[in-house]
Structure 1
Amino acid sequence: MASRAHRLVRRLSSAASSYDALVIGGGPVGTEIARLGGLIGLDVAVVDPRGALLAAPTGYVSKVLLDVSNCAERNSRVVPREWTHAKYALDATAVRALAMTADLFQDSSVGADVVAGRTEFAPTVIQGRAAFKGRDASGSYEVQVHGAAPTVVHAPTVFIATGSASTRLPSLPFDEANATGWIFDSDSIVGIGRVPEHIFIQGGGLIAVEYAFIFERLGAKVTLALREERVLQGKDVDIDISAAVGARLEERGVEIRYGDGNVVKVTPPAEHGGVGSVELGSGTVVEAGAFLSALGRGGAAKGLNVENAGLRPPLPSGHLAVDYNSLVAESTGGDCRVFVAGDTVKDCAIYPGGLLSTGLAQGHVAVRGAFPEAWRATFPPVGRRVEGSKMDAFPAVAFWIDDGVATVGVTEQAARMAHGDDIGTASAKYSETVKACVQPRPDDEFLKIVYLKTSGSILGVHIFGKDASEMINHGAAFVNRGQTIWDVIHSIPPAVTYDEVFLRAARRACYSMAQFSGERA
């Protein structure tokens, strides 16, 4: 450890079973925590059932399928309802994602190939499932790893980044033999192996909507049934974005059954590959060749035996409660050195929860809070950075829904609840930009700014349209820096890009504020 001058944490033991920090979960958040730990000089081990780190989220599967479905629609050579192209794309993406993960550590100069080997500063990857045993005489956590070669790992600091798992209603026949290959959740849908002629999707959240677009573009008839009165309701998505997405789905021919998402009876097909039926609360019976139940995801903390480490047990949702600001897990007493980040977190200061952007930010907060001295030694406060500088409270969030949805900050609904009549909104359509004169866009694509009328401060930015995920970083800077609509006008060039919607919306906000000031006077 002395090979790096700023390595401030003493290694507890030369034994292979002892580390400075243990990360449970090798997904994108766990990988980022391991990378940061290596950067600040820690000897890190990661326990993951796959025995490899993967910086791509579980949701990469739907992103691949969305890309394949877009190709199916654009390219007549891709035959709808043929799964061969999807399988090839999924396999190729997995290979590239593993290579990309290894490159992350090479780029950080903390190791070489973390998939096939280990160098001094790369994390040790242990294949298996982790469960807390307790604490040893030195106070380090003892974690049992159940795998091909069971072992016990010791570490004074543990990070839990186990992600999420699909929510399954006990009333649905997931375990019935006849339902195998017909009913799926958001984890198992990757194994469908075909594009059914008709798919029934239960749910109105991000995953359900995403797969509705995917299967419709692949050539399937899609029925989407949800309990709510609009898609994406309750998902921290602005109401205008929700309305635009719902309208786009219906325009594409997706049947949406609002307020009718309760399934009262399920009849799997009589034989494999056949058609089953779903009876809804309204009495409507839908016959379909596949059934996707996408009712959200819960935390994947169950089975970790966190009570043995003095932590409070997981919530019924599978999440772990944490300190709102530090992400330290809630304990039943004594010093706690267990931090939680990613989808396993219930509520914290980094908003909104359950998304990769948020999870990565939480990982940074957790590592910095766990090892403040090592962090400062590696990332000294220089230039405009000051001691105690905080992570952005609102990471930019992008959803791969149709052409793209991206958001940062608060929705109009939440802003009005907090600030009442002081809230203003301004929107601009893609079709109004110079670039749209060259490359016309649908009339329903837009950007919306939520701001305070009295100060012009920007509270939220919401985009539905092409390249939304590439544009939202502008909005994230405005929101997290407390900037105003005038900052937008000064910093967004009216070049031939879709970024022009920022400028147009900001100008409209200025006009509205001038009118508002006149009325107040």
Structure 2
Amino acid sequence: MKTFDAIIIGAGQAGAPLAARFAAEGQTVALIERHLVGGTCVNTGCTPTKTMVASARAAHVARRAADFGVDIAGAITVDMKRVQARTADVAGASRKGLEGWLEGLDKVSLLRGHARFEGPDRIALGDEILTAGKIFINVGGRPTVPDIEGLADIAYLTNSDMVGLDRLPEHLLVLGGSYIGLEFAQMLARFGAKVTVVERGERLIGREDPEVSDAVRGFLEDEGVTVMTGAECIRLSRDGGQITMHADCGGDTRTATGSDLLVALGRRPNTDNLGLEKAGVTVDKRGYITVGSGLETSVPGIFALGDCNGRGAFTHTAYNDYEIVAANLFDGESRSVDDRIAGYALYTDPPLGRAGMSEAQAVKAGHRVLVSSRPMSNVARAKEKGETAGLMKLVADADTGKLLGGAILGPGGDEAIHAVLNLINMGATAKDLQWAVPIHPTVSELLPTLAGGLSPAG
């Protein structure tokens, strides 16, 4: 039996920095990784997908060059093998850099293999038993593959497969109209594939307010993406080289046929086969590890960070989980995950940046809301760039004036939204934002105008 001060299962975006913090405090750490260091973000998520998004945007801008008075001779073509090679290089460099850093840390033992609990303070790794007073679970998640009629008989793709794809599908069917599905839908359309998005809900990205969903659908359709919503009761079939998706509820049958199928229906935690029951760690009905405000599980001394705890499914929330745990363990603080303000982005082009609550979420939470919205066609910078699709929106509490949320769907929306996110974190009011003096010409300069135009919803 080998004894450590801490055992961390998973070298993702929370596990790796936490190992370094323990080492910096002079404590020994076993950091166990069964697959690739860096987790989803570095290997199959943020890093490779945003690299591919950049390639897709380059093709799109080149095709639009004439709109800006720039002539490019010949047709614009995409070499998918080179796109994939560049993607692999960028992701591989990130992973190697992280591995080198971890392997160079004194007191950190980077171990390979599948970890399983043998008790609340014991981990089996192959034939070895490791023990520690504190154990941290950072095992991430994987694509959800639901039980859909006919799916088991079809060779389908997930986001993990897409980042390694070095060919262009003739016609990609995307099952799922949310963040992962829409990013791949647009980029593959820009690479030259036909794309059909099939969404079971009544609109795309259903967690967003309707005007945001409608705007995203509008610019995707303008780029040639076919969108089918309200497609419940789905079944799949293959006839030779073609895959057909049938949506036949209520006697109304609609079909979509393509050469390839991407299943993008969300994520599930990698908490099965960890032996959690031997440690007494509680999970919910979806397999997420239940945690308190300090991210400790039902068992004292065992913590769950990142995608597996159901408290956030992003790299930045996983890293913030690390920050909370480290601050509480080493800095004498009482940080809580319950205090975290939601923020995220959808990396279509233009991107959507979201901070805090949507209008619907604010109403559901019991707020009397004020809202303000303007089309991106009102923004000088967007007009100058020739990218006027989208909108900007603010949500505030009618009683206190405090900012509750915002959305920026437009050029640089993923960056500009941080002005709103930071103000919400500070507890600022709409008046605080209204009297700021923004830089012209920028996307952010419309935010004070929005703040001054807040009015009751409806």
TM-score range, shorter chain: 0.7 to 0.9
Note the alpha carbon deviations across 1:457-479, whole angstroms, 9 max, x for none.
10001111111121222111211
1:114 partner SS: helix
**Distance across 1 between alignment mates of 2:105 and 2:313:** 33
Amino acid at match of 2:406: V
Q: Report SS of the residue matched to 2:32.
A: strand
Kindly indicate which of the two structures has a greater share of residues assigned to strand.
2
Distance 1:20 1:228 in 2: 48
Given that residues 294 and 335 in structure 2 are in contact (C-alpha distance below 8 angstroms), is that contact kept between their aligned partners in structure 1?
A: no
| Residue 8 of structure 1: aligned partner | none
Give the aligned partner of residue 296 of structure 1: 266
Aligned counterpart, 1:151: 128
Distance change in 2, residues 1:438/1:191 (3 Å): closer
1:215-236: CA deviation from partner (whole Å, max 9, x where unpaired): 11111111111110110113xx
Aligned with 2:378 (options 432, 446, 469): 432
Amino acid at match of 2:405: G
Change (3 A) 1:453 1:339: same
Identity %: 23
Residue identity in the other structure for 1:276: I
Matched, 1:327 2:299: no
Q: Deviations over 1:239-291 (max 9, x none)?
A: 33222112222222211111114322322x53xxx333332324333321101
Check if 1:341 corresponds to 2:305.
Answer: yes
Tell me if the contact between 1:81 and 1:197 (Cα under 8 Å) persists in the aligned partners.
no
Question: In the superposition, relative to structure 1, how do residues 248 and 170 fare at CA in structure 2: closer, same or farther (>3 Å)?
Answer: same
* Contact map agreement 1:40 1:375 (CA 8 A) in 2: no
The partner residue of 2:84 within 74, 84, 87 is 87
Alignment match of 1:224 (pick from 176, 197, 214): 197
Q: Is the 8 A contact 1:203 1:261 kept in 2?
A: no
Give the match for residue 350 of structure 1. Answer: none
- Superposition RMSD in Å: 2.6
Find the aligned partners of 1:53 and 1:419 in 2 and give their Cα distance: 39
1:368 maps to amino acid: A
Distance 2:278 2:132 in 1: 15
TM-score (norm 2): 0.88
- Greater CA drift, 274-283 or 246-255: 274-283
Gaps of 5+ in 2: 64-73
Question: Deviation at 1:57?
Answer: 6.3
User: Quick one: distance in 2 between partners of 1:354 and 1:120?
Assistant: 30
Aligned mate of 1:118, from 104, 117, 127: 104
Residue 251 (structure 1) aligns with: 222
Closer/same/farther in 2, CA of residues 265 and 397 from structure 1, 3 Å limit? closer
Work out whether residues 37 and 98 of structure 2, in 8 Å CA contact, stay in contact via their aligned partners in 1: no
Match of 1:364 among 323, 329, 347: 323
Structure 2 equivalent of residue 212 of structure 1? 185
Provide Cα deviations, 1:405-441, integer angstroms capped at 9, x if missing partner: 1111111001122335x31101234433343464343
Cα distance in 2 between the residues matched to 1:289 and 1:81: 19
Indicate the residue corresponding to 1:311 in structure 2. 281
Give how far 1:481 is off.
Answer: 1.6
Cα distance in 1, alignment partners of residues 114 and 61 from structure 2: 43
Q: What is the TM-score normalised by the length of structure 1? A: 0.78
What's the secondary structure of 1:56's corresponding residue?
helix
Alignment counterpart, residue 501 of structure 1, candidates 408, 430, 446: 446
Displacement of 1:151 in angstroms is 2.8
Alpha carbons of structure 1 residues 396 and 88: separation in structure 2 relative to 1, 3 Å: same
Aligned CA distance change for structure 1 residues 403 and 70 (closer, same or farther; 3 Å): same
Looking at structure 1, the residues matched to 285 and 399 of structure 2 have their Cα atoms a distance apart, in angstroms, of: 43
SS state of the match for residue 181, structure 2? helix
Structure 2 residue corresponding to 1:64, chosen from 51, 55, 73: 51
**Distance in 2 between the 1:497 and 1:184 partners?**
39
For 2:54 and 2:267, locate their aligned partners in 1 and report how far apart those are by CA, in whole Å: 23
The structure 1 residue matched to 2:257, chosen from 287, 291, 297, is 287
Q: For 1:453 and 1:401, how far apart are their aligned partners in 2?
A: 32
Aligned match for 1:260, one of 231, 234, 238: 231
Larger Rg: 1
In structure 2, how many angstroms separate the alpha carbons of the residues matched to 1:419 and 1:226? 29
Change over 3 Å in CA distance of 1:451–1:119 after alignment to 2: closer
Offset from partner CA, 1:470-500 (integer Å, 9 cap, x none): 1222111211221111111334524322210
CA contact (8 A) 1:428 1:504 kept: no
Question: How far off is 1:341 after superposition?
Answer: 1.3
Distance 1:224 1:80 in 2: 23
**Cα distance between partner residues in 2 of 1:51 and 1:18:** 24
SS at match of 1:20: strand
Instruction: Note the 1:48-63 alignment, pairs <5 A.
Output: 48-50=33-35, 52-53=37-38, 56=42, 58-60=44-46, 61-63=48-50
Equivalent pairs, count: 441
Please name the residue that 2:345 is paired with.
398
Distance (Å, rounded) in 2 between the aligned partners of 1:501 and 1:445:
13
